[in-house]
Amino acid sequence: GDSVTQMEGPVTLSEEAFLTINCTYTATGYPSLFWYVQYPGEGLQLLLKATKADDKGSNKGFEATYRKETTSFHLEKGSVQVSDSAVYFCALTPSGNTPLVFGKGTRLSVIA
Amino acid sequence: NAGVMQNPRHLVRRRGQEARLRCSPMKGHSHVYWYRQLPEEGLKFMVYLQKENIIDESGMPKERFSAEFPKEGPSILRIQQVVRGDSAAYFCASSRQGVEKLFFGSGTQLSVL
């Protein structure tokens, strides 16, 4: 079945460091890909998404590119802030109505 | 414009009791999804409902778990005869149509003693 694999955390970075969180997927066809963020004590929030190959999703300085040849959707940010500390989830859906399949999440801690 | 509301935030039950988790979707949203998050695990899909209909319950355990989304009122996830393994965070998400833009609630943390 469809699945998402994320790099394991936790990831600890200093403020202004470069961030990469790897995400690869297994799916038939052309899934839509998502990154969600979960701040402490809160529900998940959509961070960005991409719906077809080579699309780049971006939001709040984060970006990810849909790479079909490597089945990847890595999350990047050029300069992280303490406020970016959260758990990041990669997810996919094979089609618009099929429930999202999530990775296990990667906890990011940014220290000043 | 209120977001997805889940209550209670924390629920403590003893083994064998029933747990009822409530989810009020955002205004205008008729699609509701329930997910369960175990410690150090990602979210696992449980059930997808539209008003008065269960669309996909492929992630629901066959016994003790049930869900509804009545014409009026919130969606309810019911767990009968809870066991310790049911301890988890349960999240509800809603949308107007499909999963391309889901809004999540803050979750209900269920603890079974």
pLDDT digits 0-9 by tens, B16-74: 999 999 999 999 999 999 999 987 778 999 999 999 899 999 999 999 999 999 999 99
Report pLDDT for B100.
83
What's the burial of B7, exposed, middle or buried (CB within 10 Å: 0-12/13-18/19+)? middle
Report pLDDT for B65.
97
pLDDT, tens digit (0-9, with 9 covering 90-100), for B84-105: 999 999 999 999 988 888 999 9
Higher-pLDDT residue of A5 and B41 is A5
pLDDT, tens digit (0-9, with 9 covering 90-100), for A34-90: 999 999 888 899 999 999 999 999 999 999 999 999 999 999 999 999 999 999 999
Report pLDDT for B101.
86
Out of A43, A51, A104, the one facing B42 most closely (by C-beta) is A104
What does the DSSP assignment read for B36-57? EE-TTS-EEEEEEEETTEEEE-
CB atoms within 10 A of CB A58: 14
Out of B42, B56, B100, the one facing A105 most closely (by C-beta) is B42
CA distance A7 to chain B (A): 12
The confidence band for B1, taking pLDDT boundaries of 50, 70 and 90, is low
Q: Do A43 and B105 touch (CB under 8 A)?
A: yes
Amino acid occupying residue B87: S
Q: Do B99 and A97 touch (CB under 8 A)?
A: yes
φ and ψ at residue B24, rounded to 5 degrees: -105, 115
Residue of chain B whose Cα is closest to the Cα of A44:
B104
Residue of chain A whose Cα is closest to the Cα of B5:
A43
| Angle at alpha carbon of residue A20, lines to A79 and A37, rounded to 5° | 85
Report pLDDT for B8.
97
Q: To probe the interface with A, which of B102, B106, B108 has the most A CB atoms within 10 Å?
A: B102
Average pLDDT over all residues of chain B: 93
